[in-house]
Amino acid sequence: MKPRFALLAFVALSCLLAAALPAAAQQTLYENGPINGEVDAWTINEGFDISDSFTISSGTSTVSGLSLGVWLTAGDVLQSVDVTLSSQPLQEGTIYFDGVVNLVQSGCFVNNFGYDVCTETGSFNGTPLNSGTYWLTLQNAVSTDGDPVYWDENSGIGCHSQGCPSQAVNDSLGGTLPSEAFTILGSSQTGSTPEPSSLVLVASGFVGVVGFLRRKRL
């Protein structure tokens, strides 16, 4: 009977200690509203790039993914895009992340212009950001057919995040433009870390209960 109770104590104690630690919940850190798909879109390959601002308002957070709306030539599939997170638009200022992100395509529909309008979702190594306003820049999008790839313009209509609608900048135009459909994904720390003495009390209390149950069975 001793090994059985030892295993029970270990498993239950592990669960209690894990529950006492702060949880990192996956969540939407910023969203600029749903895809429109019927107004306009901006090229993010063939030498063009677009920057949109976003705000982190949930305290220190880890940005680890994004989703966006794109227009594609019928039948084409977007494979990846260069993603930059920076303190200023168009990859200026401090660079927090810069890399190629592979994308998964879903939810496509054909718009009035004959393009496939799709949701693209990708993840990358987590990047910690404090509360504040940052810039997402997309460029060098790669599709299976090598056609132009366009980022859906939605002007931030229907967004709910603090700081929305996003501001947007196009390098070739040298000025601002209506913002695009995208969501910044990641996690923020919730809860607080218990004091070591509190963890000891929880552990010792549980061990005492297990010991009582063991004596009762014997």
Q: How many residues does the chain have?
A: 218
Share of the chain above pLDDT 70, in %: 74
Question: What are the boundaries of each domain within the chain?
Answer: 1-22+198-218, 24-188
First vs last C-alpha separation in the chain: 9
Mean pLDDT of 77-95: 97
Identify the band that residue 16 occupies on the pLDDT scale cut at 50, 70 and 90. very low
pLDDT score, position 206: 41
pLDDT at residue 207 in the model: 41
Measure the CA–CA gap between 16 and 18, rounded to whole angstroms: 5
Residue 173's pLDDT is 72
HEC string for the chain: CHHHHHHHHHHHHHHHHHHHCCEEEEEEEEECCCCCCCCEEEECCCCCEEEEEEEECCCCEEEEEEEEEEEECCCCCEEEEEEEEEEECCCEEEEEEEEEEECEEEEEEECCCCCEEEEEEEEEEEEEECCEEEEEEEEEEEECCCCCCEEEECCCCCCCCCCCCCCEEECCCCEEECCECEEEEEEEEECCCCCHHHHHHHHHHHHHHHHHHHHHHC
Q: pLDDT tens digit string along 108-146?
A: 999 999 999 999 999 999 999 999 999 999 999 999 999
Q: Which two tokens stand for residue 100?
A: 């190629």
Instruction: Give the orientation angle of helix 196-217 with respect to helix 2-20, to 10 degrees.
Output: 150
Query: Which overall architecture, per CATH, does domain 24-188 show?
Result: Sandwich (2.60)
Question: Is the bond leading into 128 cis (omega within 30 degrees of zero)?
Answer: no
Q: Is residue 6 pLDDT above 60, yes or no?
A: no
pTM of the model: 0.77
